Structure 1
Amino acid sequence: MKKRLAVIGHPISHSLSPLMHNNEFHELGLDYEYEAIDVVESELELVINSFRSLDFSGFNVTIPYKEKVIPLLDEIDEEAAAIGAVNTVVNRNGKLIGYNTDGQGYMSALENISPTWKKKKILIIGAGGAARAIYISLLRHSAAMIDLTNRSVQKAENLKTDAKVSNSNVLSISEAEEQLGNYQIIINTTSVGMKHTSGVPLQLTNLNKEAVVSDIIYTPMKTTWLQNAEQKGAKIMNGITMFVNQGALAFKYWTGISPNQERMNQVVINNLKERNNQC
């Protein structure tokens, strides 16, 4: 009997996780099946409890349930607790244990493009769940200096307070734009620039051309913001590698096996290119 896995969220039909994971299970000859399940909030607890069935090895959690799922689990690991969100759950004999692979997934992606990132001055745009995972994970792994900017300055202040750090500055968007040349890494964690939306999260007029400009969006694969940064000579990084990395970490939690991340990455890229050609 196949072992079952899933990703839950609302909406969820756009998710590339089933494609990515099922292809890798097939390539490795593993008897697992991964599906996307759209869950309305009123049924969240019922669905979570159904995953305690022994044929479910675990599941992923995406928007809007990464925080709401925590009280429904039996245990969460230290990093997930610090972040305050769970995106990966392992079923150990009916006991549901939550993890957060988003922050580590991003950190691994950043390491590839900027091996000395721990010595760089970093600016994070946004203060939502993705910003929280990246901010806290980078801080926990010895980032030297990370500042925050957000349209709601208070929300960014709240994130800084929750992280219990004193050496971060919170800037308004206009302040961040003025001081942008001081940063070697700029990370957009907002949805501004995602497919079917317009605009940029931050003007790049004062960008240091030696900077790394990173966007966790992967649809489109190169947002207008990343195109602008590239034209200014900056290194750019979209959200594909983070998405694949966090998925690979979850894969190993469930199966105990490290997947082929290069193959997973190519499956995602090929699918995104196919979707773009159909538009």
Structure 2
Amino acid sequence: MRLKYDVDTKILFQIGDPLDQCCATYLHNALYEFCNVNAVNLSVPVPKGGLGDFVKAAKVIGAAGFDLTMPHKSAIIPFLDECDPASRAFKCVNHVKIREGKLIGVGLDGAGMGLSLQYEQGDIGGRHALMIGAGAVAGPIAADLCARGVKKFTIVNRTVEKAKYIADTLREIYGADTTYGPFTEEYLSQTAPDITLAVQCTCLGGGSHWQEFPHLGFVDLLPKECIAADVLYPTTTFLEAAKSRGLPTVSGKGMLYQQQLAMMEFYFGVKLGPDALAEAIEALEVAIALRGVRNERRAELASMSR
């Protein structure tokens, strides 16, 4: 992958803290090249509380925009001049473009998951969705599912008030039929037999949190036609439990692939067809590998400096 840079190059950033697990910069640069877009994406750690200074700097240098990960997805909203209603309501924005000094934000996590489910499993309209977790991505994903015909939701979360907020917002904005409750084995088991789409939206059960998903017994009670989806990738304990039941599964990889296609249209007006999905998949695989090499090298340098 070659990085082009000249006076016309659009500069974008990936910001968050920490960025050790992020591979978006590699992925985005590969897609820029594939689309022949004269742009470059750079990773910049921006700690909590530093967002205001970064926004000022981005405007001064003429940045075209920036991608956000934690802890900035909600914190960016007061800085925005424009934002789509769902992203504002659920306080989750992960892409910002700067046009004539104005910040225009959008959350594409929802579109990524919705497009991935539709691409891999077909029409999902009419299903009863269980949203596991009520963090930053759960609301936008539920909003996108509403747009695809899902009108009944059950939201569970450790902090029940957060689940209630998503349930109330879906009802008010989209007229969805919603219920909510605690993230407990009892409540999940009680709800499971009616669920036909389960979306895991927490950080539990994947990567370093592999052993931390506390309640998986409910998976045995899900109907055989239930689709199990997860925002994490490549797999999680939840997805593995669903696979063992023979349920159709969708990992967070598909969500990330599809999100890239939506991102290219948001930033550059480039509409990519289905043929570009293979390029996005290849770019992501390379990005994950490069992330691993980078982190190994960091660890080596850290041990040498001790």
Give TM-score scaled by structure 2 length. Answer: 0.83
Distance (whole Å) between structure 1 residues aligned to residue 290 and residue 67 of structure 2 = 25
CA contact (8 A) 1:188 1:201 kept: no
**Structure possessing the higher radius of gyration over alpha carbons:** 2
Residue among 157, 177, 188 paired with 1:176: 188
Q: Provide the residue aligned with 1:72 in structure 2.
A: 79
Distance 1:100 1:271, change over 3 A: closer
Q: Note the C-alpha offset of 1:53.
A: 3.8
Distance 1:123 1:42, change over 3 A: closer
Q: Note the C-alpha offset of 1:148.
A: 0.8
Distance (whole Å) between structure 2 residues aligned to residue 273 and residue 54 of structure 1 = 31
Q: Provide the residue aligned with 1:222 in structure 2.
A: 235
Distance (whole Å) between structure 1 residues aligned to residue 27 and residue 20 of structure 2 = 14
- Secondary structure of the residue aligned to 2:40 is strand
CA contact (8 A) 1:177 1:202 kept: no
Q: 5+ unaligned residues in a row in structure 1: which ranges?
A: none
- Secondary structure of the residue aligned to 2:235 is coil
- Secondary structure of the residue aligned to 1:124 is strand
Q: Provide the residue aligned with 2:109 in structure 1.
A: 102
Q: Provide the residue aligned with 1:238 in structure 2.
A: 251
**Structure 1 position 268 matched with structure 2 position 278:** no
CA contact (8 A) 1:120 1:144 kept: yes
Q: Note the C-alpha offset of 1:97.
A: 0.8
Deviations 1:1-34 (A, max 9, x none): 2210111111113211111111122223321100
Q: Provide the residue aligned with 2:137 in structure 1.
A: 130
Could you list the runs of 4 or more consecutive aligned residues of structure 1 that deviate by over 4 angstroms after TM superposition? Answer: 273-279
Q: Provide the residue aligned with 2:303 in structure 1.
A: none
Residue among 24, 43, 46 paired with 1:39: 46
- Structure 1 segment 1-279 matched on structure 2, within 5 A: 1=7, 2-53=9-60, 55-163=62-170, 164=172, 167-172=177-182, 173=184, 174-197=186-209, 198-200=211-213, 202-203=215-216, 204-218=219-233, 221-259=234-272, 260-272=276-288
- Secondary structure of the residue aligned to 1:213 is strand
Q: Note the C-alpha offset of 1:273.
A: 6.2
Q: Percent identity?
A: 23
Deviations 1:86-138 (A, max 9, x none): 11111112211111111111111111233231111111100111111112222
CA contact (8 A) 1:7 1:37 kept: yes
**RMSD between aligned alpha carbons?**
2.3
Deviations 1:196-219 (A, max 9, x none): 11133642121222211111101x
Distance 1:82 1:142, change over 3 A: farther
Q: 5+ unaligned residues in a row in structure 2: which ranges?
A: 1-6, 297-306
